[in-house]
Amino acid sequence: MVMIQKIKNPMNKNKISLIWRVLLFTGVFAAIVLAALNRDKFDVASFDLWLSQLGFWAPLAYMAMFAIGTILFAPGALFALAGGALFGPIWGTLFNLLGATIGASIAFLIARYLGGDWVQSKTGPRLQRLIKGVEAEGWRFVAFIRLVPIFPFNLSNYAFGLTKIPLIPYALTSFITMIPGALAYTWLGFAGREALEGNGSAIRYALFGLGLMAAIAFLPRIIKSMRAEPKS
């Protein structure tokens, strides 16, 4: 009887784990579809009004919303622009970075919990070699993908979770390498708010943000040229 219980217990644990994974996948997928269908209903003015009523908790609420939006494939640029308009260029940049990093880390963990082991066991030899190569590069590959956006940001968060890259290097690298983009979009959002309020400095702020965007656009060429340089 004891032997039978010992055999059944692992099976029960596996079933419970499978049920939780199915529920999590269903919930996340349904939330992503719902967010996509209601994407056009996002209103910065209403969002600003709601946050203004929260007082001290407004930054935390904003970062939580940014994180949830990242998980649900909402456009990060839209939140980044709103952050600049709502909190200004300095605090807005910080809140945007923290919200995006938290969301990216949660998406990373969701993918790892749902499918990391399955991917490792089911992939063929070629894909396994690719995954091993990504894992060997570690934070350097994360930095490359963040600075040279070959894959969409929200999708890459889940893709990284299917590898064995550790969470802490992934999160820290994401935070650091997202700084240029966060600065650019936050300044543009701030410039937009200043323009609506009739501030003559809005043009200068917008030019600064656009300059950052132009610099980011040249990053892929710079990184490619650096990687192509022959080693002495």
Mean pLDDT by 10 residues, the chain (232 residues): 50 66 72 69 70 86 92 84 85 94 93 70 56 76 79 85 88 91 83 64 54 57 54 50
| Rounded Cα gap, residues 112 and 118, in angstroms | 9
What does the pLDDT read at residue 108?
A: 92
Give me the helix-helix angle, 76-87 and 58-71, nearest 10°: 170
Instruction: Tell which residue, 191, 203, 3, has the closest CA to residue 84.
Output: 191
| Rounded Cα gap, residues 103 and 213, in angstroms | 23
pTM here is 0.73
What does the pLDDT read at residue 104?
A: 94
| Rounded Cα gap, residues 211 and 218, in angstroms | 11
What does the pLDDT read at residue 152?
A: 82
What does the pLDDT read at residue 116?
A: 61
What does the pLDDT read at residue 147?
A: 79
What does the pLDDT read at residue 220?
A: 57
What does the pLDDT read at residue 202?
A: 54
